[in-house]
Structure 1
């Protein structure tokens, strides 16, 4: 049976555990256009924590990304996200999205793309949602190149992105370096943690490592425990900038619960937990030193 594919038609679509998990205070995350700031800014610490502790949210998906539609219930669609590898389903990360946030418009085959290199890149000249502000690492196919901008395919028709706001990339392009990964990560120091976050409106720990790897052309699994299973294991003393550091309960012997990016000089950059901000922190003498359970490198594989 041929799978039904859709594309994300809002800046950032949140992937919910079930339709019932969306609360009344989450209404601004369920609309088209989505109102992310209106959703996130009023949330209290407890309300943000519930996204994790009460299993409300699974992940997020960016504008223009393809999803596989598996089921519909009322105004909701159950989808898989192929761009987010997961042990939950080999076809992609599963979850529920409001149907209004999906488009039936699919891109043709393209070999040239642009990825937004900053938060709030403005998408111009779109028939609907004119002036949409895109998240960092939104990737769209290129239709044409002009002097100051690129014409791109979007779920709403053709759009324009300023060249200063994007990085040109091709399919199967050489993966960047660990230094480049860390440089990208530094852009988000001070950004508030968001459970399930996969956008520059807020990242969780593995959403941060996933998107920083994506920024150098490397697709890694969505969740920390899956990320640890891939890549190349790195021995102590061989760590380099951009390596992923993994942490587990029971002094490193239990289940993996956190991931950070090696920053060099015995430090890491990471998105710690609800109520905290992306930071650079030393490992020595901290709980992270006790719980370190593995180091993996993705960026040197080709």
Structure 2
């Protein structure tokens, strides 16, 4: 009997899920290759604004090739391997040909957690953050801030009141959110199909947000992290990277562009590898997160730096 119980306990341990335990977790190309100035992004808790606002342009450009993606508080990750205080994970919900379980890369071990209590409430209603960022509070009076979390963070609901929502966190107990910052769903599949204008309105809420290579959060986006996150917040999962986004979806000729379509740009005058994506907003314009020198902006495509590198377009709205 003891052998059977031991086997059952072992099986349950093997089935434990692993979750992101910081507001936004940066996923690196290699373990322990970060800089001293990256410390605010490597701790638990993280300090995302302190990190991004402290970087010079050259500091930001260094991230290209060194930082791969990010993951949000409470997201599930698959642990692939360990090396000292670092673990290689695959981020669930970020489709990529790089790994079948999700986008792979290295993170500090203390930024992830196994949580039986958090795992048990995964079938609860879900509170999805709809503001660019939002505060989690220690109590329902909404006076003492715990941490600031990003747009599209999704946490299980414990209780719901008229103006506030109690949610579970991966390792820090239950917290409270102002209901103005969230939408609550019984299940992610219950998110209604957005209109093109819904997508544009969401994208516009980030106008002026500084670019961050590999970013997928309200603390900073790269070009494909921006389009991936805007669509995902509306219940549509598209690939993480622009080159793969360009390969999928319904192909659209340029003269048939509709609001909400994704437009892609490539090297060699638009004939080479795809390196950039924006969202078409009508009247020849797109909204995008362009590069480390810029912020989320709207531009007339034919008058922009991308005028001579148009490649293709994909439609992901049903």
Give TM class, smaller chain: over 0.9
For the 8 Å contact 1:252–1:293, the answer to whether it is kept is: yes
For the 8 Å contact 1:111–1:171, the answer to whether it is kept is: no
Match of 1:45 among 16, 32, 57: 57
Q: Does residue 76 in structure 1 map to residue 86 in structure 2?
A: yes
Q: Does residue 118 in structure 1 map to residue 134 in structure 2?
A: no
Tell me the equivalent position of 2:98.
88
Change (3 A) 1:138 1:284: same
Q: Name the CA distance, whole Å, in 2 between partners of 1:219 and 1:29.
A: 26
After superposition, the C-alpha distances for 1:14-55 in whole angstroms (9 at most, x for unaligned) are 001112321111111100111112211111100100100xx2
Structure 2 alignment gaps of length 5 or more: 1-10
For the 8 Å contact 1:5–1:69, the answer to whether it is kept is: no
Alpha-carbon distance, 1:259 to partner: 0.2
For the 8 Å contact 2:132–2:206, the answer to whether it is kept is: no
SS at 1:245 equivalent: strand
Q: Name the CA distance, whole Å, in 1 between partners of 2:15 and 2:271.
A: 40
SS at 2:54 equivalent: coil
Tell me the equivalent position of 2:269.
251
Tell me the equivalent position of 1:61.
71
Structure possessing the higher radius of gyration over alpha carbons: 2
For the 8 Å contact 2:208–2:296, the answer to whether it is kept is: yes
For the 8 Å contact 1:261–1:269, the answer to whether it is kept is: yes
Tell me the equivalent position of 1:276.
294
Q: Name the CA distance, whole Å, in 2 between partners of 1:144 and 1:4.
A: 24
Change (3 A) 1:130 1:77: farther
Q: Name the CA distance, whole Å, in 1 between partners of 2:248 and 2:16.
A: 29
Alpha-carbon distance, 1:144 to partner: 2.2
SS at 2:229 equivalent: helix
Compute the TM-score of the two structures, normalised by the length of structure 1.
Answer: 0.93
After superposition, the C-alpha distances for 1:75-120 in whole angstroms (9 at most, x for unaligned) are 1111001111111112100001111111111423415212111133
Q: Does residue 200 in structure 1 map to residue 203 in structure 2?
A: no
Q: Name the CA distance, whole Å, in 1 between partners of 2:101 and 2:52.
A: 30
Matches within 5 A, 1:103-252: 103-105=113-115, 106-108=118-120, 109-110=122-123, 112-125=125-138, 131-155=146-170, 156-169=172-185, 170-173=187-190, 174-252=192-270
Alpha-carbon distance, 1:69 to partner: 0.7
For the 8 Å contact 2:124–2:158, the answer to whether it is kept is: no
For the 8 Å contact 1:181–1:215, the answer to whether it is kept is: no
Change (3 A) 1:285 1:122: closer
Let me know the Cα RMSD of the aligned residues.
1.7
Task: Report the more deviating stretch, 166-175 or 180-189.
Answer: 166-175
